[in-house]
Amino acid sequence: MDRSRSSLSFARQFRNTVLGSLTFLFFGVAVAPLLLIVYVAWDSGKSVLDWSFLTTLPTGFPVGSEGGILNGIVGSLILVFLASALSVPVGVWAGMYLWQEGKSPVAHLVRLLSDLLLGVPSVVWGIVGFYVFSTSTGYGLHWGFSALAGGLTLGFIMIPIVTRVTEQALREVPLSYIEGAFALGASRWQTLRGVALPGAMAGIGTGILLGVLNVLGQTAPLVFTNYYNTGIPNSLVGSQGAVGDLAMQIFIYVHEPSKAMHVKAMAAALVLLMIVLVIDLGIRLLTWGSRKIASRV
Amino acid sequence: MSVVETGKQEKLLQRKEALERRVTGKETMVQSDRIFGWGLKAGGLLIMALFLVVLLVCIVTAWPSIRKFGFSFLWSQAWNPSRGIFGGLTYIIGTFWVTGIALVISIPVAIFSALFLSDYAPKWMSGIVSTLMEMLAGIPSIVFGAFGITFMVPILRDHLEPFLANTLGTRWDFFNGDALGYGVLAAGIVVGFMIVPLVATVTRDSLLMVPQEMVEASYALGATKAETLFFVKLKAVIPGIVGSVILGFGRAVGETMAVLLLIGNQASIPETIQDVGYTISSLLANTFTYAVIDPLYAAAEVELGLILLMMTLVVNTLGRKLLMRLMGGRLAGSVGGG
* Residue A161 touches chain B, beta carbons under 8 Å: yes
Q: Which pLDDT value is given to residue B19?
A: 62
CA distance A139 to B259: 32
* DSSP 8-class letter at B335: P
Q: Which pLDDT value is given to residue A18?
A: 92
For residue B85, give the 3-state DSSP assignment: strand
* Residue B244 touches chain A, beta carbons under 8 Å: no
CA closest to A91 among chain B residues: B43
- The DSSP H or E segment spanning B80 is strand B79-80
Of A127, A156, A265, the CB nearest to B58: A127
Residue A8 C-alpha from the chain's centroid: 50
Give tens-digit pLDDT for B41-71: 999 999 999 999 999 999 999 999 999 999 9
List residues bridging with A294 in a β-sheet: none
CA distance A135 to B298: 12
* Residue A254 touches chain B, beta carbons under 8 Å: yes
CA closest to A220 among chain B residues: B338
Residue B27 neighbours by CB under 8 Å, 6+ apart: B18, B21
The angle, 0 to 180 degrees and rounded to 10, between the axes of the packed helices A105-118 and B31-69 is 50
- The DSSP H or E segment spanning B86 is strand B85-86
Closest CA–CA distance from residue A52 to any residue of chain B (Å)? 22
Closest CA–CA distance from residue B34 to any residue of chain A (Å)? 9
Q: Which pLDDT value is given to residue A291?
A: 46
Task: Judge: B150–A292 Cβ closer than 8 Å, yes or no.
Answer: no
Q: Which residue in B111, B141, B143, B199 has the most chain A C-beta atoms within 10 A of its own C-beta, making it the best mutation to test that interface?
A: B143
Give tens-digit pLDDT for A89-111: 999 999 999 998 878 899 999 99
B residues 254..283 contacting A (CB < 8 A): 254-257, 261, 280-281
CB contacts of A156 in chain B (<8 Å) are: 50
Task: Judge: B116–A26 Cβ closer than 8 Å, yes or no.
Answer: yes
CA closest to B116 among chain A residues: A23
Task: Judge: A106–B44 Cβ closer than 8 Å, yes or no.
Answer: yes
CA closest to A138 among chain B residues: B61
B7, with CB counted inside 10 A (0-12, 13-18, 19+), is: exposed
B residues 143..182 contacting A (CB < 8 A): 143-147, 149-151
B31, with CB counted inside 10 A (0-12, 13-18, 19+), is: exposed
Degrees (nearest 5) of the Cα angle A17, A20, A25? Answer: 115
- The DSSP H or E segment spanning B179 is none
* Contact of A203 with A95, CB cutoff 8 Å: no
Q: Which residue in B133, B209, B224, B260 has the most chain A C-beta atoms within 10 A of its own C-beta, making it the best mutation to test that interface?
A: B224
Q: Which pLDDT value is given to residue A160?
A: 95
* Contact of A114 with A261, CB cutoff 8 Å: no
CATH number for the region A51-295 comes to 1.10.3720.10
Give tens-digit pLDDT for A176-213: 888 888 888 888 888 888 899 998 988 898 889 989 99
Q: What is the mean pLDDT of each run of 10 residues along chain B (338 residues)?
A: 60 68 56 82 94 96 94 92 92 96 96 93 84 87 93 93 88 85 95 94 90 91 91 91 94 94 92 93 93 92 96 94 72 41
* Residue B63 touches chain A, beta carbons under 8 Å: no
* Contact of A290 with A279, CB cutoff 8 Å: no
Domain definitions of chain A by residue range:
2-45, 51-295
CB contacts of A242 in chain B (<8 Å) are: none
Mean local confidence (pLDDT), A42-60: 91
* Contact of A59 with A66, CB cutoff 8 Å: yes
The domains of chain B, with CATH numbers, are: 67-327 (1.10.3720.10)
CA distance B254 to B104: 17
Q: What is the 3-state secondary structure (H, E, C) of A203-261?
A: HHHHHHHHHHHHHHHCCHHHHHHCCCCCCCCCCCCCCCCCCCCHHHHHHHHHHCCCHHH
Sign of CA dihedral B72, A121, B338, B318: negative
Q: Which pLDDT value is given to residue B15?
A: 72
* Contact of B299 with B63, CB cutoff 8 Å: yes
Residue B297 neighbours by CB under 8 Å, 6+ apart: B81, B84, B86, B291
CB contacts of B44 in chain A (<8 Å) are: 94, 97-98, 101, 106-107, 110
pTM score of the predicted model: 0.90
CA distance B114 to B124: 17
A residues 181..240 contacting B (CB < 8 A): 187-189, 192, 213-214, 216-221, 223-224, 227
B294 vs A72, B61, B81, B319, CA distance in Å?
A: 31, 12, 9, 37
* Residue B203 touches chain A, beta carbons under 8 Å: no
* DSSP 8-class letter at B336: P
